[in-house]
Amino acid sequence: MEIINYTEEHKQFRQRLKNFLAKEVIPNIEKWEHDEITPKSIWAKLGKNGFLCTDVPQEYGGMGGDFLYSVIVCEEIAYSTIAGLLTYLHSDIIVPYISTFGTEDQKKKYLSKCVSGDIITAVAMTEPGAGSDLASLCTTAEDDGDHVVINGSKTFISNGINCDLVIVAAKDPVIENSYKAISLYIVEDGTPGFEKGQNLEKLGLHSQDTAELFFSKCRIPKSNLLGERGKGFYMLMQKLQQERLMITINALASGEFILEETIEYCKKTKDQGGLLAQNQSVQFKLVEMATDIKIGRTFIDKLIADHMEGKDVNTETSMAKFWVSEMANKVADRSLDLYGYSGWLEKCSVVRPWRDLRGTPIFGGTSQIMRKIIAKSMGL
């Protein structure tokens, strides 16, 4: 019995996306990896074809789809080995802040353009001196009449170069309680005092732009406050379940792709007179990897189903986030070993996903932080 039941509409959507990626994305991956950024034009094409922000209600220009459409997009992009095209960050992590906490005016102003790809979003939390500890934020937001003035800097911001809109976590310096001092603000590209830094060179996700952002006397209207003032920390925490689930889905799909490619390679590659797949040692390695992937898929599908039912599975999602991320990296490492010298070549089909997977135990909360969250839930 399947845990998730995809409808015919879901299956048609997946096939349409496969066809789109085969035509518009896969032929361009090498160029985008070299350029270290994906062009805004591909975001517009994704939006035009209905592959962005699939859960946004129809009244705001979206298709009003269920969470499975988000899952499908995340998986298929991972299968296509263009993990640098980080659409799930935009569609399923950042835009939901506007959908959930935005005013009616903010929803009308931004959501339809997020759906169409005319607006690419980013969220700015991490700072040079404050990573996972939001209480250590130094970026400030001070009232000045009808405006708010933001000062500070952010780093490791995904979509940092391409972003047209960034949700900034900033602290009111007057409030002593660090958590109650944090609010979220919408800052549009081109706002005076908002500058984008360099596109950071990374080990993986080469086609995904990651940048430093700087705010110097950046004045925005008070109407750009997202949600309630002083509730920024709690808003961020509320959305972590879906954020970590999306990262985990992406990691699992990448692991599935790598395993499938490796099995096919072993079936057609000879070593010492026989096919690799006929070697018992190789068979056992493939079986062990396939078992781990299957366990991960079963776990993730159950979490997807629970998440869609509105259940609180923060602890279980934290478990999946660290375990699946680390497991997928082990599958990638062991697969690359089976390729031998071929695995040293950039043209090897598993090299890019092997490289891109390395960041998954880090972003969205490190594996160590996931373990701390789980330990706390266990009363330890």
Please identify every residue annotated as catalytic: 243
What's the CA angle centered on 160, arms 155 and 165, to 5 degrees? 120
Beta carbons of 52 and 46 less than 8 angstroms apart:
yes
C-alpha span between 107 and 61 (Å, rounded): 10
Q: Are 242 and 315 in contact (CB under 8 A)?
A: no
Which residues 6+ apart lie within 8 Å of 18 measured at CB? 76
Residue 235's nearest CA partner among 189, 300, 186, 190 is 186
Partners of residue 182 on adjacent β-strands: 171
Phi and psi at 170, nearest 5°, equal -140, 160
Q: How many CB atoms lie within 10 A of CB 366?
A: 16
CA torsion, ordered 183, 185, 191, 195, to nearest 10 deg = 60
Angle between helical axes of 240-268 and 280-308 (0-180°, round to 10): 150
Residues 6+ apart with CB under 8 A from 272: none
Candidates 276, 308, 233; CA nearest to 5 is 308
First to last CA, the chain: 36
C-beta separation of 185 from 141 below 8 A: yes
Of the candidates 213, 193, 209, the one whose C-alpha atom is nearest the C-alpha of residue 201 is: 209
225 DSSP assignment = E
Beta bridge partners of residue 127, listed in sequence order? 130
